[in-house]
Amino acid sequence: MTTPLRLGIVGADASGQGWAPLAHFPALRALPQFEVVALCTSRAATAAAAAARYGVARAFHDPRELAAQEDLDLVSVVVRAPAHHDVVVAALEAGRNVYCEWPLGASTAQAERMAALADARGVRAMIGLQARADPVIRHARGLVADGYVGDVQSVAMVMTTAAAPERPASRAWERSAANGVSALTIRGIHALDALCFCVGELAEVSAQVATLNRRWTIADSGASVDVDAPDCVVLAGTLVGGALVSAQIATVPCAAAGWRMEISGSRGALRIASSGAPQRDAKTLAGARGRAPLAALDGVPTDDEGLPAGVPPGAPRNVARMYLRLAQSLRAGTPVEPDFALALRRHRLIDAIQRASDERRAVAIPL
């Protein structure tokens, strides 16, 4: 058997509640292509606790020390978004290949630096836009490319997430737009990236970006804090090929319907839906040709295809698919997809949407 790729995770989270324990560790345990040999948290005590919890030999509280480990093939960055830049730069400067969860940085300027540095160092750098690995979304993309709907004419998308305006103190940092986490920058871009993956890039966009819930209650103390991170986005756009796009992305205080995308063309239509987010939750796919009613399609890949039996259901599955894709790239010496160049394009999309809202006009999107 081929020797496993040696991996270090920054953001291991000893509490067991973060994205690394919920998705990355369960995925990696089931993949013989990888071995987690090191981890890092922000403090020595939590690093030691995480190492004991996950059975990892080496524990660090400085990401530069982890990145300096000569036997590492890959560093995975699963920390809070404001810390992505410093951790990724440390790994790239050490010459390590990198997997970074979305967003790449807290700003486009940070993303530009990281993308340039990855290119200069000649390493493989993957961004965690996991919807691109989802088998149902990939199948829908293939149907569009094969002409199932004919010429794409319009796309309608809705992404709603439930989150009451009450947060624990540990998440109070998310209230500031400067930290790079909002309905637009996280769920919004995961959803819009899935749209672009299926039907092509946006060329122009008009938008309204708003913060409708401007106060959060901190559950631990009962204190009330100001919020400026956007929680609602409505946009209209044009694809490179001329099709029209409408989308609404919102974090709502009550029940949320999840994600839905409807693709209409000259010959047919497709509808992809999920009760949750496109990058992590199970999906249904319906289609129709001509004037026939939409109906569930035959031949849609199952969620089990291409994965070892030990990968748990839910969030770990598309993360595992991303790691498998990355392993193949590292073994073969081929480019990764999605990479930091795509991440930079998505950061520029965020800027275009915000600018369109601020200036109340249509804004062209750099390609």
CA torsion through residues 307, 311, 312, 315, sign? negative
pLDDT of residue 116: 98
Percentage of the residues of the chain whose pLDDT score is greater than 90: 92
Query: Binning pLDDT at 50, 70 and 90, where does residue 3 land?
Result: very high
Tens of pLDDT along 143-168? 999 999 999 999 999 999 998 888 99
* Whether the predicted pLDDT of 337 surpasses 70: yes
Tens of pLDDT along 47-72? 999 999 999 999 999 999 999 999 99
pLDDT of residue 302: 78
Which of 101-115, 160-174, 297-311, 341-355 is least confident?
297-311
Average pLDDT of every residue of the chain? 96
Tens of pLDDT along 213-238? 999 999 999 999 999 999 999 999 99
Tens of pLDDT along 284-334? 999 999 999 999 999 998 777 779 989 999 999 999 999 999 999 999 999
Angle of helix 108-121 versus helix 340-359 axis, rounded to 10? 160
Could you tell me which residues are beta bridge partners of residue 246? 156, 236
Tens of pLDDT along 167-189? 999 899 999 999 999 999 999 99
The backbone region for 314, taken as left when phi is positive above 0, alpha when psi lies in -120 to 50, beta otherwise, is left
The residue type at 61: H
- Residue 4, φ and ψ in degrees, nearest 5: -60, 150
Q: Report the candidate in 145, 85, 139, 142 with the shortest Cα–Cα distance to residue 117.
A: 85
> How far apart, in Å, do the first and last CA atoms of the chain sit?
42
Question: Token pair of 341, please?
Answer: 């160049």
Query: Binning pLDDT at 50, 70 and 90, where does residue 73 land?
Result: very high
Can you tell me the mean pLDDT for 259-281?
A: 96
pLDDT of residue 1: 53
Angle of helix 84-93 versus helix 108-121 axis, rounded to 10? 10
* Whether the predicted pLDDT of 125 surpasses 60: yes
pLDDT of residue 136: 96
Q: Report the candidate in 318, 88, 306 with the shortest Cα–Cα distance to residue 197.
A: 318
* Whether the predicted pLDDT of 348 surpasses 70: yes
CA distance linking residue 79 with residue 125, whole number of Å: 16
Domains of the chain in sequence order: 5-123 (3.40.50.720), 133-302+346-364 (3.30.360.10)
Q: How many CB atoms lie within 10 A of CB 210?
A: 15
pLDDT of residue 164: 81
CA distance linking residue 304 with residue 185, whole number of Å: 30
């991303």: which residue's tokens? Answer: 322
Query: Binning pLDDT at 50, 70 and 90, where does residue 43 land?
Result: very high
Cα 272 to Cα 51, 142, 191, 321, distances in angstroms? 40, 13, 12, 20
* Whether the predicted pLDDT of 264 surpasses 90: yes
- Do 316 and 125 contact (CB within 8 A), yes or no? no
User: Burial code of 327-349, b = ≥16 C-beta within 10 A, e = fewer?
Assistant: bebbeeeeebebbbbbbbbbbbb
List of residues 6+ apart from 1 with CB closer than 8 A:
32
Percentage of the residues of the chain whose pLDDT score is greater than 70: 100
